[in-house]
Structure 1
Amino acid sequence: MQIYGPFRVSTTQATGAASPTNRVQNAAQTAAKPRAPQADQLDLSASNRLDQSSAIAGGGEIRIDKVAQIRREIADGSYETTEKLDAALDSLLDQLG
């Protein structure tokens, strides 16, 4: 079958059943197959892991009173002050500069 335009179709050629190797059918079959979801994965070697005691300042001691004080200041909104933010910014600029 030949199509010459939207209104003119010639049936002088034999039309047969669509073969399974038809590209359109193969594309439709491929698109219909569900794909297994891919998951992200991260593997770390033992040398990249931190020792728990070295990650805490002061050799592993946690000052419960200091933690409680900081939590109270964060809760009431007085922890972040202009002076602390300026000091942090100055420290960052010193490291970058």
Structure 2
Amino acid sequence: MSKLSAQDIETKLLRFPDWEYFDDAIHAEFEFDNFRDCFSAMSRIAFECEALNHHPNWSNVYNVLTISLSTHDANGVTDKDFKLAEAIEAIVEPVDE
């Protein structure tokens, strides 16, 4: 998978308002009501990561989840990162039906 240009990344980020691009990665921070909800989201995200064979750099402090995505093999952001970001968004901010 090839590394995206900064312009391509910024264009793709228009669909992901919670994400920012810096340090050759896309980053987001999500706040939940409590630790349990945060950890539950992390568990669901972990299954998506395994399915996509793509794993984030992430950290959790109580109810806050911080995520950085980049494709190490490409030394930067690729479409693979945006595919995972889309899956993460669906988990942490589900659309009301």
Higher strand share: 2
TM-score (norm 2): 0.26
Choose between structure 1 and 2 for higher RCO, CA contacts under 8 A separated by at least 6 residues: 2
Structure 1 length-normalised TM: 0.26
Instruction: Decide which structure has the larger Cα Rg and report it.
Output: 1
